[in-house]
Amino acid sequence: MKEFNIQSVDKSLQTSIQEKIDNLNKPKGSLGRLEELALQICLIQHTLEPSLAHPCHLLLGGDHGIEREGVSVSPREVTWQQMINFTLGGGGVNMFCRQHGFKLRIVDVGVDYDFSAVPGIIDRKIARGTKNFLYEPAMTEEEFDRAIMVGVELVDDCIQEGCRVFCIGEMGIANTSPSSIWMHFFGNIPLAECIGAGAGLDTPGIRHKYEVLSKAVDNFKNSHLSTLNSQLSTLNFQLSPLRYFGGFEMVAAIGAMLRAAEQHLIILVDGFIMTACAVAAIKLYPAAQDYMIFTHCGDESGHKKMLDIVGAKPLLQLGLRLGEGTGALCAFPIIDSAVRMMNEMNNFQNAKITKYF
């Protein structure tokens, strides 16, 4: 896997940033989370005048071999059908990107469909879906490395256009399954507490999903027992569940997050699947969390527990479970308000208002 040079944010301006926030013409602390966001964004960009220039949204698509085991209420063809729908502007992600001025990039990282005749989809296909991790690793080491690099290259394209803030959405039927397993491993949380309804499974469906994933985890542990015992805290161990269970779109998202952190971009994290990717990125490079804003906690079982793994405090709880990065896009006006607060509010001295604290 590519090595990243991710440094914690430079805090040398923190006192100056906080003084600017405290001297805006408002009671100290009265803008609550906006003040926390403003401080974080200013530290990320190392400035007292932050910018949200050229926001980008990556929509990554990939299919999963585990879908063949009936762990999702939706069939795999919904992945490619929705990808085409996105090119026509008809998805939730399209609406929110238009509303908030995000440039949308629709990317095929591993969908089980030939999009060669479909304009508007960026071709980064690694394979037509991952293998079935109930029986074998979802991807090879070479495929894993390529997926990481797809994410890196996509972020570099955004940076060339002047992007300072970006978010990621996903389209991949059954991708709550690998997300649940990653949560189990990286949070040391019982697998049953990590598994939910996904796109709409009923109680028997959730039970079946648990049985399938439990068997897959047992197979993995049995085949990696010596690794688990000897390398529990090493990078090598952390990579193993990512490659064994992950989807191409999910691994590409990790690569994108790590590259964005390396380049000091603001990363908006949404949804159960993208939170799983963010947790994985943080486990690999803890400093990456400095650059992440967790935007939404959905209704998927275990999402709050997964946020708790890294102590994340989401901005919104709207009951969204669409995926596609829609929660991050919905939260963008709040982030925009924090930046506008820093750049547009007057201070006590200029406004000739007595500072009363």
* Residue numbers annotated as active site: 324
User: Which amino acid appears at position 211 of this protein?
Assistant: E
| CB neighbourhood size of 318 (10 A) | 14
Task: Point out which residues pair with 316 in neighbouring strands.
Answer: 296
Nearest to 163 by CA among 267, 40, 38, 11: 267
Pair 146, 246: CB distance under 8 Å = no
Q: If you ran DSSP here, which 8-state letter would residue 316 be given?
A: B
Containing 22, the helix (H) or strand (E) segment is: helix 14-23
Q: Residues 159-164: contacts with CB within 8 Å, 24+ apart?
A: 159/263, 159/265, 161/54, 161/56, 161/103, 162/53, 162/54, 163/53, 163/54, 163/55, 163/56, 163/103, 163/265, 164/45, 164/51, 164/52, 164/53, 164/54, 164/55, 164/265, 164/266
Which alpha helices (H) appear in 285-347, and where do they start and end?
303-309, 326-344
Q: Which residues pair with 293 in a beta bridge?
A: 268
Rg from Cα positions in the chain = 21
| CA trace torsion 195, 200, 206, 210 (10° rounding) | -40
265 vs 36, 106, 116, 291, CA distance in Å? 17, 20, 32, 7
Q: What is the CA angle 312-170-108, rounded to 5?
A: 145
DSSP3 helix / strand / coil % (the chain, rounded to 5) = 55, 10, 40
Residues 6 or more apart whose CB falls under 8 angstroms from that of 64 comprise 76, 129, 130, 138, 172, 173, 174, 175, 177, 178, 247
